[in-house]
Amino acid sequence: MTRVLFVCLGNICRSPLAEGVFRHYVRKAGLEDHIEVDSAGTGSWHVGEPPDRRMRRTAEAHGISLDGQRARQFEKEDLERFDHIFAMDKENLQDILYLDDGDAYGHKVRLFREFDPEPGDYQVPDPYYGGPQGFENVFQIVDRTARTLLHRLVEEYDLELRQ
């Protein structure tokens, strides 16, 4: 089992979307017994809350459900538990690495948009304080990056896709 974790600040917008979209493609490929997916936030403000309503609606408009997700805070143990940790922006990346006090897990942590064919500044913009277009923009970024990421993991672990 390969364990994948997506991390943003609040765990109510970007990383829950990444979790939902990536899981969608994992299931579509029949790989749910091989790849486990989760998300977390570096901050604690929204712990226990469902994803932001605007993010849920945007996801639903594209056929992706974020139902059942609840925000949790990234913890030190996640560095050990997960095989791949994908940060939505550079601040998230820094905050994750700050918890790696023995410098043992840095190789597992990278920016999610390293896998984006159009990476821009390599960060998923925080849509929280913006308008609806920001959420659709985040969806487009996350959707194409999640697909590319899954292909890369399938290659890396030599996984067999369902026909």
Which of these is catalytic: 8, 78, 89, 116? 8
Q: Which residue has the tokens 């917008």?
A: 13
Q: What are phi and psi of 90, to 5 degrees?
A: -70, -30
Sites for ligand 4NP among residues 50-69 (CB under 6 A): none
Segment interacting with ligand 4NP, rule: CB under 6 A, options 3-11, 24-32, 77-85, 141-149:
3-11
Can you tell me the distance from the alpha carbon of 100 to that of 119, in angstroms, rounded to the nearest whole number? 26
Q: Which neighbouring-strand residues pair with 36?
A: 3
Count of beta carbons in the 10 Å neighbourhood of residue 23: 22
Closest-by-Cβ residue to ligand 4NP is: 10
Asked if 38 interacts with ligand 4NP (CB under 6 A), we say no
Least distance CB 73 / ligand 4NP (angstroms): 12
Segment interacting with ligand 4NP, rule: CB under 6 A, options 11-19, 99-107, 108-116, 144-152:
11-19
Q: What are phi and psi of 73, to 5 degrees?
A: -90, 140
Amino acid at 29: A
Provide the annotated active-site residues: 8, 14, 126
